[in-house]
Structure 1
Amino acid sequence: MNQVLDTQALLRLMAWLSPAFPIGAFAWSGGLESAVANRLVKNSVDLGDWLSALMRHGAFWNDAVLFSEAWRRFEDAVALKETAELGLAMAGSAERFAETLSLGKAFVAAASAWPDPVLERLPSDVPFPVAVGAVAAAHGVPANKALAAFLHAAASQAVSAGIRLGCCGQVDGVKILAGLEGAIAQLSDRAPGLTLDHLGGAAVQAEIASLRHETQHSRLFRS
């Protein structure tokens, strides 16, 4: 596939990963709300470290692997189904499962504005990174560019959640995103070589935070 990101593909990528795309990502924090409530994330430095750990060892890393596998196998309905099932099975908590499934289904529904046979190949229950990876590949978006945009959108959403939770301001939030550029670029450049053998993580505190959020009394977010 041509690795040049043409204007049409760029516009679609910008639309799909825009905050305005109707997938409801604003409603989820990926367990960050619990981390803030339990004082694991207290300020912008903590938030930057938290997101960096997710990028290298946690949910962002595994999402990148699932994204890359779906991008590579977008023409194979059986492979997409198996990847989707694996992605859902790896959800570390009920809320993480609901989050990735809700976003995945909403993404497929919204992406139908750009009709393509890949939408029929995707299973009805599909995690978010699998949905975006497969759709991006079907529309000719290079793997590394698509994954970079996906990871940047995920980090941006987490920073936005952090701002709403009061652990940083907007200026510091932008600094966090700037500080994550290297990690995002490094991971996205590995996209062509990432396979399911690379799945795994060590962000234990983040997984525990996600579990604790399920019983948190006062909440702004659904996860």
Structure 2
Amino acid sequence: MLMTTNRPVEPAAACADIESVGTVEAAALYRLMTWLSPAFPVGAFSYSSGIEWAVEAGDIGDAPMLRDWLSSMLDGPGFCDGVFLAQAHRAATASDDPMLRKVAELAAAFTPSRERHLETVAQGRAFIDTARAAWNCDGVDDLIAACGGPIVYPVAVGIVSAAHAVPLVPTMHAFLHALTSNWISAGARLIPLGQTDSQRLLAALEPAVAAAARRAMAATVDDLGSATFRADLASMRHETQYTRLFRS
């Protein structure tokens, strides 16, 4: 018989549960599925990362073209975001405040355009605010303070997951999956694509997501960099695009 209770679960108790033997993997999976779900309120649906301009310019017109574009995005900006997430997670886990501040400042300065900066900072702030409100955990406030300024989205995911003792590897894959899913969702609304074609595209990009995750986890901040100039130009030109559905 299923028993229920009206007693609320305190966030502090929920945070402590992740340390219990036998609950680590289940708790980590539950939190990652929640935090990186399309339903988690970070406003990701409002941003296209320049894809809207690329569609208008004719760079993206169908599923194969979108796949090529997103493969490059994963190899460039996606990889860099993964490096920032990994470095933030490791610095937070090691309580290395100077390194965490360095990573947070570099990540905030790394965005190529005003709109991309708005996108990643706004999502980072929303991610932290929601996570603290519903999943607060000892140490999160100290990690936020250690960053010393605006916290971009991958750094926010890195420090929150570290504070909750969620391992880096699944965090990285879940983050890059969510990033890719949002890009596909933007493309589906702009080209447009059907739901089945969107899922086929997500499946086709699985090796690229896995490769970006492996590279990011093996990299250091000295390895940061990409050459996705057309994507950077798209995010800049979107700022003056006449008709827009998205904020970036």
TM-score (norm 1): 0.93
Give 1:128-143 correspondences, 5 Å limit: 128-143=153-168
Residues 1:215 and 2:204 aligned together: no
Larger radius of gyration: 2
Output the CA distance in 2 between the equivalents of 1:178 and 1:53. Answer: 16
Corresponding residue of 2:219: 194
- The residue type equivalent to 1:16 in the other structure is W
Residue aligned with 2:58, SS: coil
After alignment, is 202-211 or 165-174 more displaced?
165-174
- Contact 2:42/2:123 (<8 A) preserved: yes
How far has the Cα of 1:219 moved from its partner? Answer: 0.2
Conserved? CA contact 1:88–1:97, under 8 Å: yes
- 1:157 alignment partner in structure 2: 182
| TM superposition shift of 1:140 | 1.9
Across the aligned residues of Structure 1 and Structure 2, the Cα RMSD in angstroms comes to: 1.7
Is the CA contact 2:79–2:213 (under 8 Å) kept in the aligned structure 1? no
2:140 aligns with one of 115, 118, 131: 118
Q: 1:76 aligns with which of 96, 100, 125?
A: 96
What residue number does 1:53 align with? 72
Matches of 2:98 and 2:129, distance apart in 1: 20
1:152-198 Cα deviation digits (max 9, x unpaired): 00000011101111242221111111011112122323444221111
Unaligned runs of 5+ in 1: none
1:27-63 CA distance string (max 9 Å, x none): 001011010010111110011111111111x211110
Q: Output the amino acid matched with 1:106.
A: A
- Counterpart position of 1:19: 38
- Aligned twin of 1:62: 80
* Runs of 4+ in structure 1 over 3 Å off: 189-192
Asked if structure 2 preserves the Cα contact closer than 8 Å seen for 1:55 and 1:184, the reply is yes
Distance 1:185 1:213 in 2: 29
SS at match of 1:168: coil
Partners of 1:128 and 1:192 in 2: CA distance: 17
Aligned mates of 2:192, 2:65 — CA distance in 1: 9
2:49 alignment partner in structure 1: 30
State whether residues 144 and 190 of structure 1, in contact with CA within 8 Å, keep that contact through their aligned partners in structure 2. no
The alignment's TM-score, normalised by the length of structure 2, stands at 0.84
Of 13-22 and 122-131, deviating more is 122-131
CA distance in 1, matches of 2:239, 2:77: 17
Q: Does 1:89 align with 2:109?
A: yes
CA distance in 2, matches of 1:187, 1:96: 20
Contact 2:53 2:234 in 1 (8 A): yes
